[in-house]
Chain A
Amino acid sequence: MLTISHFKPENAVIDEICPAGEPWMGMVKKGQTFRILDLEGNQAVDTLFYNADNLEERYSAVDTIQRQSRLYLTTGSVLFSSEGNAMATITADTCGRHDTLGGACAAESNTVRYALDKKYMHSCRDNFMHAINHCDCAHHLNMTKRDITANINFFMNVPVTSEGELSFADGISAPGKYVEIQAEMNLMVLISNCPQLNNPCNAYNPTPIQMLVWD
């Protein structure tokens, strides 16, 4: 469902650009609203959420799907944790559909999906690995690959047919489209602004995104 937001960028407490292909990690406190803005369009944003007060509790794609009997995310969708708690709610969305089945690209899965020699390209999982080792906010968390679970792909379109066929369709996002998430608990947010060059999820041209947070 398309819904616009009334938050104004000039009032944001965080306003940062995440360049094309780079990771981003940060805290969003309970009650704050977090916007991801697709600046140039068709940019997949691979996103994971953790309970900042208990890392073992994290975003669960299958709990989110199962508890709402819905595959796609949009305004009104609740993002459920591995403990069955509401972590966040999507409160505005000018794109209309976001994916939570497609996961993150990785060097190793590149070899399967595209060709054995496509391993040495930048990937979302390598971005996640880099971020959890370098972000100041992650130093005390001791995160490893164990903590990288099935993520959300904001702005990505992965339709499933009634026959169970799954495809990576052209994006339905465009320059200036955004999604907003209201935090229902203190969240650690881990993002890879997807660097994948081998499929249409970024229109073969990864671009920057803007992150805004309001109290």
Chain B
Amino acid sequence: MQDILWEELIPGGNHWSGVLRRGNTLRLTDLESGANVSALFYNKEEKLERYNMPDTLKAQQTAFLTLGNVCYSDMGRIFCSVTADTVGWHDTICGVSDAMYIQKKYGKANFQTHRNGMLRSGKDGLLIELGKWGLGKRDLGPTVNFFSKVTADDYGLLTYQPGNSKTGDIVDLRFEMDTLVVISTSPHPLDPKKEYKPAAIKLTVKKTGDVPADDVCRNHCSQNERGFINTERYYAR
């Protein structure tokens, strides 16, 4: 087993940002079942390059992410690859909640009444983190909602699927670029639970090195192979 570079716990309903380096793998662990991790990705050295939901879905002809999938930037490159997944479905199409929605659904709970137990929306958490890197509303696009599952019927009507993620479930993201990662652990906007009780998660980072020739993500489809070529060209020296 590779050495752990660092670990950090994020309480439910909170937010985090940091840089993941090319060749390192971030493991997200659901510590309490029913976690939701809304994530955005930006190129660390040119933050105008960012995660692009439509390009990610089109290239891999999927509406959700699981083992073998990758997260594309809007420049035809790959931020990270899903190299392990005990969940099977991560939502890409629902975005995050905002403050008005959280108050309507769960009631008002601000710092005056609840101190650190106050309720923070997904959008506000992401904007706080984006602000720390000189980014803002113009940079907030569709998120990946790790651990959450929403399906569509023939008419496009969406259904949130409860019980998608259980305590101890993990998803591994191997980073192919030096990436600014911005995270909120607020509830998924379509989660019908009446109580605001989002699960805590753990971040674990390990060094994983070069992508092997028989890599499940690179060989997932010819599109991903080309995405890896584009990414390797960016880092060629």
On A, residues with C-beta under 8 Å from B are 56, 60-63, 65-66, 69-72, 82-84, 97, 101-104, 106, 108-113, 115-116, 125, 144-147, 149-150, 160-162, 164-168
Indicate with 1 or 0, residue by residue over B208-237, a CB within 8 angstroms of chain A CB atoms: 000000000000000100110110000000
Known: A104-B54, A111-B226, A115-B226. A71 touches B93 (CB 8 A): yes
Q: Are B156 and A109 in contact (CB under 8 A)?
A: no
Q: Are B48 and A146 in contact (CB under 8 A)?
A: yes
Q: Which chain A residue has the least Cβ–Cβ distance from B158?
A: A69
Q: Which of B29-37, B135-143, B168-176, B193-201 contacts A (4 or more CB under 8 A)?
A: B135-143
| Residues of chain A lying within 8 A (CB to CB) of residue B142 | 61-62, 150
Q: Quick one: which of A66, A69, A108, A161 contacts B157, CB cutoff 8 A?
A: A69
Q: Are A101 and B55 in contact (CB under 8 A)?
A: no
Q: How far is the CA of A63 from the CA of B122 in the complex (A)?
A: 12
Q: Are A160 and B63 in contact (CB under 8 A)?
A: yes
Q: Are B98 and A70 in contact (CB under 8 A)?
A: no
Indicate with 1 or 0, residue by residue over B142-158, a CB within 8 angstroms of chain A CB atoms: 11000000011111111
Answer yes or no: B13 CB below 8 A from chain A CBs. no
19 of the cross-chain contacts (CB-CB < 8 Å) are A62-B94, A62-B95, A65-B93, A65-B94, A69-B159, A69-B190, A84-B101, A102-B54, A102-B58, A108-B230, A111-B76, A112-B76, A112-B230, A116-B230, A145-B48, A162-B152, A165-B62, A165-B63, A166-B63
| Residues of chain A lying within 8 A (CB to CB) of residue B54 | 101-104, 150
Q: How far is the CA of A63 from the CA of B140 in the complex (A)?
A: 12
Q: How far is the CA of A113 from the CA of B55 in the complex (A)?
A: 9
Question: Looking at chain B, what size class is its interface with the partner chain?
Answer: 35 or more
| Residues of chain A lying within 8 A (CB to CB) of residue B141 | 149-150
Q: Are A116 and B95 in contact (CB under 8 A)?
A: no
Q: Quick one: which of B74, B93, B101 contacts A145, CB cutoff 8 A?
A: B74
| Residues of chain B lying within 8 A (CB to CB) of residue A165 | 61-63
Q: How far is the CA of A103 from the CA of B52 in the complex (A)?
A: 9
Q: Are A62 and B93 in contact (CB under 8 A)?
A: yes
Q: Which chain B residue has the least Cβ–Cβ distance from A149?
A: B141
Q: List 5 A-B pairs, minimum CB-CB distance, nearest first.
A: A103-B54, A62-B95, A71-B156, A108-B76, A72-B156
Q: Are A109 and B53 in contact (CB under 8 A)?
A: no
Q: Quick one: which of B53, B100, B159 contacts A84, CB cutoff 8 A?
A: B100
Q: Are B74 and A164 in contact (CB under 8 A)?
A: no
Known: A56-B138, A101-B57, A102-B58. A108 touches B74 (CB 8 A): yes
Q: Are A101 and B93 in contact (CB under 8 A)?
A: yes
Q: How far is the CA of A102 from the CA of B54 in the complex (A)?
A: 5
Q: Are B137 and A144 in contact (CB under 8 A)?
A: no
Answer yes or no: B72 CB below 8 A from chain A CBs. yes
Distance from A9 Cβ to chain B, minimum over Cβ atoms (Å): 31
Answer yes or no: B189 CB below 8 A from chain A CBs. yes
Q: How far is the CA of A103 from the CA of B48 in the complex (A)?
A: 17
Indicate with 1 or 0, residue by residue over B74-94, a CB within 8 angstroms of chain A CB atoms: 111100000000000100011
| Residues of chain A lying within 8 A (CB to CB) of residue B89 | 164
